[in-house]
Amino acid sequence: MKVIRLRAGKDRSLLRRHPWVFQGSIEKGKADPGETVRVESAEGRFLCWASFSPSSMIRVRAWSFDEAERVDEAFFHGRIAAALALRQRLPIASNAQRLIHGEADGLPGLIVDRYDDTLVAQFLSAGTERWKSLIADQLLAATGLTRLYERSDSGVRQLEGLEPATGWLRGDGNTAVTIAEHEWKLSLDVAEGHKTGYYLDQRDNRKKFAELVRHYGCQSVLNCYSYTGGFSVAALAGGAQQVISVDSSAPALARATAHVALNGFDAERHQALDADVNQTLRDMLKEGRSFDAIVLDPPKFAPTAAHAERAARAYKDINRLGLKLLKPGGLLFTFSCSGGVGPELFHKIVAGAGLDAQVDGFILDRVGASPDHPQTICFPEGEYLKGLLILKR
Ligand code: SAH
């Protein structure tokens, strides 16, 4: 077993059970991509078993902090079983769920989503890449399913020195799937959609939105960055009469339109707008439009803290425009999925937007990702999605 020796004092984060070691913390030792290594402090004390990634800034990802544990077939079996057991206990109102959420499930670099009878996996680290075949077999054995599609086409693979990889890993057939989320139906294509095909992390926020649209009697709703219209279907289910989905992806919008019909809503109640959100908000303001409720769920403007400043300006801009476009008493459901923008900073940005727009509002709720995207105490980076629910004064 190869040993990775850390520099003096660099054992602190592993001792706190944070699973990453950055390149600069390593004194000596190397291994092949994904090889299991023993990580030790400068004094030679055992810290963790980990996977090594020679070309990544995150050089080491911890598999286990238990010296007695071995990283083998039984290890992955145990981790996968524990993740599935947790999902069984969590309240998840859908046949589409995140089964494995990387670090939070003790499997750094592995994302697995289940869409009805189909599993979709992302192997995002050298460690998970090395164990891919075994993990694929174990996932199917644990779930009793036969189909597993790989979507390892995320940009983060590059940082690990890995090529993109997509296609059926196990099983085959149609990549189109229909899922049942809350009381509505949605479709996706695991081969073509964003990420693994769909944004499961917003599931509970869509439900919340439907309830609030109904409670406040919102008639007109603007769903910005709609993707395939999850929040639009929620708004229609909540009784909204006029819903506009805005996105810059034509295929996503085509699906949003299809989802309106799939759920039995009158097509007249929904409009799909293929456009840039920022420009659309400006145009609508000029035209004197206004809405009872607005959703702002933009893509990740700040992948890391280094991009936070530029991202802050972009978030502030759309929130300022959104707040202005809302009718008094209207609802703003605004999100950031940037890991580099924490909840406090996000609140500050929205406060700045309110000041610029000369609009105040009541914060009704602060929300995060659905529970099948768990956060753990030791891994604060896991808290990426945050949302504020605001009632305009
Ligand atoms: N709210 C969605 C997920 C949004 S993901 C859901 O519940 O499923 C972010 C979306 O923003 C993507 O669909 C992407 O196509 C879109 N997008 C990115 N930049 C955009 C822009 N400048 N204008 C409009 N849409 C944009």
**pLDDT tens across 352-368, in order?**
999 999 999 999 999 99
Ligand 1 mean position, distance from CA 300 (Å): 9
Residue 337 a catalytic site member: yes
Cβ of 277 closer than 6 Å to ligand 1, yes or no, is yes
Give, in order, the Cα–Cα distances in Å from 63 to each of 35, 241, 283, 306, 390.
11, 51, 51, 27, 40
Does the domain made of 199-392 have the CATH classification 3.40.50.150?
Answer: yes
Cα separation, 221 vs 275, whole angstroms: 17
Cβ of 335 closer than 6 Å to ligand 1, yes or no, is no
Q: Which one is catalytic: 48, 218, 224, 337?
A: 337
Does the domain made of 73-179 have the CATH classification 3.30.750.80?
Answer: yes
Q: Do domains 73-179 and 199-392 have the same CATH topology?
A: no
Percentage of the chain exceeding pLDDT 90: 94
Supply φ then ψ for residue 102, to 5 degrees: 50, -130
Judge whether 222 and 246 are in contact, CB under 8 Å.
Answer: yes
Judge residue 171's burial from the number of C-beta atoms within 10 Å of its C-beta, 0-12 exposed, 13-18 middle, 19 or more buried. Answer: middle
Judge residue 237's burial from the number of C-beta atoms within 10 Å of its C-beta, 0-12 exposed, 13-18 middle, 19 or more buried. Answer: buried
Angle at 355 between CA 350 and CA 359, to 5 degrees: 90
Q: Which run of H or of E encompasses 365?
A: strand 361-367
Instruction: Reply yes or no on whether the pLDDT at 115 is more than 80.
Output: yes
Judge residue 313's burial from the number of C-beta atoms within 10 Å of its C-beta, 0-12 exposed, 13-18 middle, 19 or more buried. Answer: exposed
Whose Cα sits closest to atom 13 in ligand 1?
227
Ligand 1 mean position, distance from CA 252 (Å): 9
* Domains of the chain by residue range: 2-64, 73-179, 199-392
> Which atom of ligand 1 approaches the CA of 277 most closely?
23
Judge whether 271 and 243 are in contact, CB under 8 Å.
Answer: yes
Cβ of 230 closer than 6 Å to ligand 1, yes or no, is yes
Percentage of the chain exceeding pLDDT 70: 100
Whose Cα sits closest to atom 1 in ligand 1?
226
pLDDT band at 117 (very low <50, low <70, confident <90, very high): very high
Within the chain, what is the greatest distance between any pair of CA atoms? Answer: 70
pLDDT band at 303 (very low <50, low <70, confident <90, very high): confident
Per-residue pLDDT at 210: 98
Tokens of 216: 């406040």
pLDDT band at 378 (very low <50, low <70, confident <90, very high): confident
Cα separation, 323 vs 227, whole angstroms: 21
CATH class of 2-64: mainly beta
Top mean pLDDT of 91-95, 153-157, 277-281 is at 277-281
Per-residue pLDDT at 155: 87
Cβ of 224 closer than 6 Å to ligand 1, yes or no, is no
Ligand 1 mean position, distance from CA 287 (Å): 23
> Which atom of ligand 1 approaches the CA of 206 most closely?
7
Helix residue ranges per DSSP H, the chain:
12-15, 73-89, 126-130, 132-143, 156-159, 203-215, 230-237, 250-262, 277-286, 308-325, 343-357
Ligand 1 mean position, distance from CA 249 (Å): 8
Ligand 1 mean position, distance from CA 325 (Å): 19
